[in-house]
Amino acid sequence: MPVYIGAKVLFDGLDSLPFIWPILKAIPWLGALYLIKWFFSGASNGSERNMHSKVVLVTGGTSGIGEQVVRGLASRGAQIVLLTQHFLGDPFIVEYIDDLRSDTNNELITAEQVDLASLHSVRQFATKWIDNSPPRRLDMVVLCANTLTPSSGDIQSTSEGIELNWQVNYLANFHLLSILSPALRAQPPDRDVRVLFGTCSSYLGGDLLHITQPASTKSESQANSKSSAPKAAQEPTRFSPGNAYATSKLALTTFAVAFQKHLSAFKRPDNVPMNTRVVLVDPGFCRTPGTRRWLTWGSLFGLLVYLIFYPLWWMVLKSPAMGAESFLYAAMEERFGRGEGEGGWLVKECGVRKFGREEVSDEEAQKRLWQYSEQMVQEAEKRGAVERAKEKKEDQERKEEADAVKEMEDYKAKVGKKDGQKKDGGRRSKKAG
């Protein structure tokens, strides 16, 4: 066929081919669209690493970027432990794991129920994991779990009284790693251990001044008001659904850098340098459920607009698979291994980038955030314990009431009474017969 077309063009000219001029005019436009799509697809991971026998804990691994990260690691032989809020007997989880095992040819994929919206659930799993002698093998922790509440809605809180974005995106990760820290420190010195934090550029708009900035005393505020010099302190932004997500991501980024320092400061009994490295990963803008909720503002009208302009989103937003490339790069690049640098890197587009906020590396801000988070966890767990005790008492009362009703029904059936009437065939009826 190509030879025939070429001969026809050679002897009869281009005009002999049907629709040739519209096709030639469309080629530059198609080429431009291809270049735009290629540009927005981002960089691809070129690093490889033997992942066989590696034990990896993953949050948020059932959808979006997390799912693609799980598939990438599992296809390379890693043993995956999914931390999911779903009940382990849920048909979705059962079928999802079966599909993963089949698609990746890897049977070492399991799940544990961990609800990141509950600090009690996080503690139950983490304490069970570290309550083992010798310590369980743990090569990597990948934190992909993420939530975003509509900025136009009301503030949503968990049952323990914590704002949902702050809880899922930051505090649950803080709580999990604080408990798992001994397990990370106990890994053999020849093991390459990594902790990957999923972040995004929204942290640039976050605000932790209400945590990191100490309250001014009355005399200091009066002195500042009388002085003509400009104020050094900034006024904290009012917390709202609009900035809740960005603030939680800023807290997560700050904690990640502080967690690397926390691990590196530990002196191992064998005097070998700490072998755990922390890497922050920014996958960029991708077509994930979280991005869709952000673009639609959580409304039906916004969803309609999103669907109308979906070709545009397909063009300028990465697929989840391309977003996972930076995670795979952070998981397998040799430079992030043990003995290479101090850790706490930020990876974007499969390359190391600098942080856009200076306070992320501020040790005083990290210290205040850590102390604030520990206090918040303690108070929230106390509230959660009170609520669980209250629910347990109510369940017990309902059970006792149901048992009492059942006993009464059994008693009525036994004596042959129903609605206060005597049983047919009693003494009087027999006498009449």
Write the CATH number for 157. 3.40.50.720
Quote the CA–CA distance of 304 and 310 in Å, as a whole number.
10
Q: Compute the chain's Rg from CA coordinates.
A: 30
Contact in structure between 332 and 324 (CB atoms under 8 Å): no
pLDDT at residue number 4 = 63
Mean pLDDT of 245-253: 92
Mean pLDDT of 219-247: 56
Residue 215 scores a pLDDT above 70: no
Would residue 9 count as lying in a domain?
Answer: no
Q: What is the dihedral of CA 367, 371, 373, 377, to 10 degrees?
A: 160
Q: Is 236 helix (H, G, I), strand (E, B) or coil?
A: coil
As for how many domains the chain has, the answer is: 1
Mean pLDDT of 64-79: 94
Mean pLDDT of 49-70: 93
Residue 235 scores a pLDDT above 60: no
List alpha helices for 105-157, DSSP H.
Answer: 119-130
Would residue 179 count as lying in a domain?
Answer: yes
Burial of 17 (0-12, 13-18, 19+ CB in 10 A): middle
Structure token pair of residue 409: 């029904």
* List 37, 231, 249, 267, catalytic entry: 249
Residue 420 scores a pLDDT above 70: no
Instruction: Specify whether 226 is catalytic.
Output: no
Give me the chain's average pLDDT, please.
84
Per-residue pLDDT reduced to its tens digit, 280-315? 999 988 988 888 888 887 788 888 998 999 899 888
Provide CB contacts within 8 A for 72, sequence distance 6+.
324, 327, 328
Task: Count CB atoms within 10 A of the CB of residue 244.
Answer: 21
Would residue 70 count as lying in a domain?
Answer: yes
Q: Categorize the per-residue pLDDT at 223 as very low, low, confident or very high, splitting at 50, 70 and 90.
A: very low
Structure token pair of residue 321: 């698979």
pLDDT at residue number 238 = 56
Q: Is 151 helix (H, G, I), strand (E, B) or coil?
A: coil
Per-residue pLDDT reduced to its tens digit, 104-138? 999 999 999 999 999 999 999 999 999 987 889 99
Contact in structure between 73 and 328 (CB atoms under 8 Å): yes
Residue 143 scores a pLDDT above 50: yes
Q: What is the percent of the chain where pLDDT is above 70?
A: 83
Would residue 196 count as lying in a domain?
Answer: yes
Task: Pick the closest to residue 251 from 115, 159, 372, 148 (CA basis).
Answer: 372
Would residue 97 count as lying in a domain?
Answer: yes
Would residue 300 count as lying in a domain?
Answer: no
Q: Categorize the per-residue pLDDT at 337 as very low, low, confident or very high, splitting at 50, 70 and 90.
A: confident
Per-residue pLDDT reduced to its tens digit, 156-204? 888 888 889 999 999 999 999 999 999 999 999 889 999 999 998 888 8
Mean pLDDT of 369-387: 90
Would residue 411 count as lying in a domain?
Answer: no
* Sign of the dihedral defined by the CA atoms of residues 80, 123, 187, 265, in that order: positive
Residue 433 scores a pLDDT above 80: no
Residue 147 scores a pLDDT above 70: yes
Q: φ and ψ at 229, to 5 degrees?
A: -70, 150
Structure token pair of residue 9: 């063009």
127: Cα within 13 Å, side-chain hemisphere = 6
Q: Categorize the per-residue pLDDT at 80 as very low, low, confident or very high, splitting at 50, 70 and 90.
A: very high
Structure token pair of residue 216: 């001014």
pLDDT at residue number 70 = 95
pLDDT at residue number 127 = 94
pLDDT at residue number 377 = 92
Quote the CA–CA distance of 248 and 253 in Å, as a whole number.
9
pLDDT at residue number 239 = 61
Quote the CA–CA distance of 405 and 402 in Å, as a whole number.
5
Name the range with the highest mean pLDDT among 28-37, 163-172, 421-430: 163-172
Task: Pick the closest to residue 260 from 205, 193, 200 (CA basis).
Answer: 193
Residue 255 scores a pLDDT above 90: yes
Q: Categorize the per-residue pLDDT at 218 as very low, low, confident or very high, splitting at 50, 70 and 90.
A: very low
* Sign of the dihedral defined by the CA atoms of residues 234, 172, 294, 202, in that order: positive
Report DSSP state, residue 392: H
pLDDT at residue number 230 = 43
pLDDT at residue number 10 = 63
Residue 248: give the domain boundaries.
55-211+239-283+318-383
Would residue 189 count as lying in a domain?
Answer: yes
Provide CB contacts within 8 A for 104, sequence distance 6+.
71, 74, 75
Quote the CA–CA distance of 249 and 16 in Å, as a whole number.
61
pLDDT at residue number 174 = 96
Structure token pair of residue 14: 């281009």
